[in-house]
């Protein structure tokens, strides 16, 4: 549907970057990201959910809608699907919302699809996030070739944003010394139930095999930082992080409405046969 231990985690993110260094068709992260989470009833995921979501995709395609989105299914945690829609600004998000509300035929098709899809869900919620370029590192990637997302969620203790900023800066300043190909994208939740001191660290993966390099990458980073540096990281993490959660998600092309350029670049994946 259209509307969607930090040092170790960042080691995993960085280890995935090796295959990205030579890529030139990179996509910068959107400035505003809307993530809709659909929590699926037991036994209602898989092909059943893909079929219901295809109605949304068909409605968007029929309207030749210019705003695209992609979907992912959870590989860990609660059974859920995520839908990512990116915008250049909050004004662009508003423009898209108003245009959708003003298109009667599209709105009717989306409403009809929502009735069927709703029968498969336990709940649905959206979070709106802002890209934190200052806390990201080599974030643009060739997203067309990616197949998974590693998503880490951090809830920051009230009044401890300064420690969080210092913690992240240690990574942005030093991780490249351990791994020249390191990368991650940081988003700050602005609206929704997930907002309020919540940050998401996102990294796309071409293969889950890339996470196998995490231990070696972690050791290299620990060597760069030294014992004192790693103690500082541990102290800042303890002071600033209230809760954290780490999960893996897999792209779902059948539930996505990708741009034509994505389909042209990899039609076998992005336009699978029914």
pLDDT at 7 (0 to 100): 40
Q: Mapping DSSP to helix (H, G, I), strand (E, B) and coil, where does residue 1 land?
A: coil
CA atoms within 13 Å, Cβ hemisphere of 189: 21
Domain membership of residue 171 as a residue range: 6-256
Spatial neighbors of 198 by CB under 8 A, at least 6 apart, are 153, 154, 155, 156, 188, 189
The answer to whether residue 261 is domain-embedded is no
Q: What is the mean pLDDT of each run of 10 residues along the chain (274 residues)?
A: 39 40 69 97 95 97 97 96 98 98 98 96 96 94 93 96 97 84 89 91 89 81 94 97 96 97 95 84
Query: What's the number of domains the chain is made of?
Result: 1
The answer to whether residue 156 is domain-embedded is yes
Q: What six digits make up the tokens of 223?
A: 């060597």
pLDDT at 214 (0 to 100): 75
Beta bridge partners of 33: 86, 129
The answer to whether residue 1 is domain-embedded is no
The answer to whether residue 76 is domain-embedded is yes
Task: Write down the H helix ranges in 63-202.
Answer: 90-101, 104-118, 161-178
The answer to whether residue 268 is domain-embedded is no
Q: What six digits make up the tokens of 162?
A: 């300064």
pLDDT at 12 (0 to 100): 39
The answer to whether residue 267 is domain-embedded is no
pLDDT at 110 (0 to 100): 97
CATH number for the domain harbouring residue 21: 3.30.70.100
Q: How far is CA 21 from the centre of its chain?
A: 20
Query: Which one, of 31, 189, 29, 3, lies nearest residue 96 by Cα?
Result: 3
The answer to whether residue 61 is domain-embedded is yes
The answer to whether residue 247 is domain-embedded is yes
């Amino acid at each position: 549907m259209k509307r969607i231990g930090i040092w170790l985690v960042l080691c995993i993110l960085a280890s995935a970057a090796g295959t990205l260094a030579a890529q030139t068709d990179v996509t910068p992260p959107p400035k505003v990201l809307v993530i809709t989470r659909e929590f699926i009833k037991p036994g209602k995921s898989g092909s059943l959910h893909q079929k219901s979501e295809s109605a949304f995709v068909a409605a968007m395609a029929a309207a030749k809608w210019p705003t695209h989105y992609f979907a992912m299914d959870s590989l860990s945690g609660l059974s859920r699907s995520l839908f990512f829609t990116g915008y250049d600004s909050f004004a662009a998000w508003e423009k898209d919302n108003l245009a959708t509300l003003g298109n009667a035929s599209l709105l009717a098709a989306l409403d009809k699809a929502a009735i069927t899809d709703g029968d498969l869900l336990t709940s649905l919620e959206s979070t709106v996030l802002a890209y934190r370029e200052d806390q990201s590192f080599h974030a643009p990637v060739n997203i067309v070739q990616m197949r998974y997302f590693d998503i880490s969620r951090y809830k920051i203790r009230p009044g401890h944003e300064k420690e969080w900023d210092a913690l992240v800066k240690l990574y942005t300043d030093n991780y490249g010394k351990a791994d020249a190909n390191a990368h991650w994208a940081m988003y700050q939740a602005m609206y929704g139930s997930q907002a309020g001191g919540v940050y998401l660290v996102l990294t796309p993966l071409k293969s889950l095999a890339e996470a196998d390099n995490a231990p070696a990458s972690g050791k290299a980073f620990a060597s760069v930082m030294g014992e004192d540096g790693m103690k500082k990281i541990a102290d800042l993490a303890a002071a600033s992080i209230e809760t954290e959660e780490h999960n893996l998600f897999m792209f779902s092309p059948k539930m996505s409405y990708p741009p034509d350029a994505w389909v042209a670049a990899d039609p076998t994946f992005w336009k699978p046969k029914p």
